């Protein structure tokens, strides 16, 4: 360190000219980055404000308790679309989360052959292709073979969107775990699979869970694949083989409608989707962002702040 300091010319720091120029560049970049941030935030908050103002007007109890109906009936709601969104999300998560995680683990630990290279290229392609193509493929393979649109077909289409996102996230999160932990597991006599599932994957679970939540937030806002699979209906689905509306498709159908009542419900559905996505992103940032903080400990801290510390203190004592 002493030798390095000796190589620096002291006259550089004594020059007012150089110092003023450096301070000018510092302030210039500060204002430029601040302007760029403002240019990003203004349209974002503008969209959020517009959706909130137009959506909050239509919030009534009927929105959550009644299904769709005639556009001339002012008492229609969004129950059918909310249930459809719930069903397709559950089906997509049931197939997409385990398959995505297993694929990511396979690519990181065993992905060294020709098949693995093909699989990796396929996953990268699935991430890049438009989701409407996924809907068309599922339409050709499932909807036409079943003879009708269904919630099941919609869930499978969304699962195909989740799998590559979760697989890439899982692979990258496992890769970020230092090789030291693998070597420690081998030194203890553990096999490669035992080391992976007992040491490495638990260490990478925080990042994997973040990827799962972000993939879930991605599929909530998808519209194009559901137009070819779940389609649209004004009634609540009774099972996964029924045709069903979802919030995104309902926004499309009601948004282009000439009826004011349906336009109002489209804004309400947009607000619900926005709140759902913001909620998922908030959970991802709060629970999984801080290194070394367990999820349940962080939840206890949030409850403590929100409710005056009573419940939070009890959770902390249980820890």
Which pLDDT band, with edges at 50, 70 and 90, does 122 fall under?
confident
Mean pLDDT, all residues of the chain: 82
- Tokens encoding 210: 């973040």
- Tokens encoding 121: 């290229």
Helix axes 79-109, 247-255, angle to 10 degrees: 130
Q: Please check the confidence at residue 301 and state whether its pLDDT lies above 60.
A: no
Averaged pLDDT, 205-221:
87
What pLDDT, on the 0 to 100 scale, is given for residue 11?
A: 56
* Helix or strand run (H / E) with residue 206: helix 201-220
Contacts of 77 by beta carbon, 8 Å cutoff, 6+ apart:
60, 62, 63, 64, 65, 66, 67, 68, 265
Q: Please check the confidence at residue 115 and state whether its pLDDT lies above 90.
A: no
DSSP letter at 68? -
Contact (CB, 8 A) for 249 and 161? no
Averaged pLDDT, 277-300:
64
Averaged pLDDT, 261-274:
90
Say how far apart CA 306 and CA 319 lie, in whole Å.
19
Contact (CB, 8 A) for 246 and 254? no
Q: pLDDT tens for residues 165-183?
A: 999 999 999 988 888 888 8
Residue 112 DSSP SS3: coil
Q: pLDDT tens for residues 228-245?
A: 999 998 888 888 999 999
């Amino acid at each position: 360190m002493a030798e390095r300091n000796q190589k620096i010319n002291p006259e550089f720091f004594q020059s007012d000219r150089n110092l003023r120029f450096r301070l000018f560049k510092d302030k210039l970049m500060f204002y430029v980055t601040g302007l760029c941030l403002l240019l990003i935030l203004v349209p974002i908050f503008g969209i959020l404000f517009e959706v909130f103002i137009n959506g909050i007007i239509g919030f009534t109890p009927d929105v959550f308790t009644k299904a769709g109906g005639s556009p001339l009936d002012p008492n229609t709601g969004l129950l059918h679309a909310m249930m459809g969104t719930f069903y397709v999300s559950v089906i997509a998560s049931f197939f997409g989360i385990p398959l995505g995680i297993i694929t990511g683990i396979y690519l990181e630990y065993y992905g060294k052959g020709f098949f693995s290279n093909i699989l990796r290229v396929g996953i990268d392609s699935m991430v890049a292709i438009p989701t409407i193509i996924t809907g068309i493929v599922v339409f050709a393979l499932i909807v036409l073979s079943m003879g009708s649109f269904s919630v099941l077909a919609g869930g499978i289409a969304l699962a195909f969107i989740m799998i590559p996102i979760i697989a890439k996230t899982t692979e990258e999160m496992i890769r970020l775990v230092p090789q030291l932990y693998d070597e420690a597991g081998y030194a203890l006599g553990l096999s490669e699979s035992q080391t992976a599932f007992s040491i490495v994957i638990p260490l990478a679970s925080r990042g994997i869970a973040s990827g799962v939540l972000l993939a879930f937030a991605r599929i909530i806002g998808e519209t194009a694949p559901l137009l070819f699979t779940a389609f649209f209906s004004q009634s609540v689905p009774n099972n996964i083989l029924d045709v069903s509306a979802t919030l995104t498709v309902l926004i499309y159908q009601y948004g282009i409608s000439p009826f004011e009542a349906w336009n109002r419900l489209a804004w309400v559905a947009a607000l619900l989707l926005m709140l759902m996505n913001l909620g998922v992103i908030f959970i991802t940032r709060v629970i999984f962002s801080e290194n070394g903080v367990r999820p349940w400990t962080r939840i206890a801290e949030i409850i403590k702040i929100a409710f005056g510390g009573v419940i939070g203190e009890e959770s902390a004592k249980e820890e």
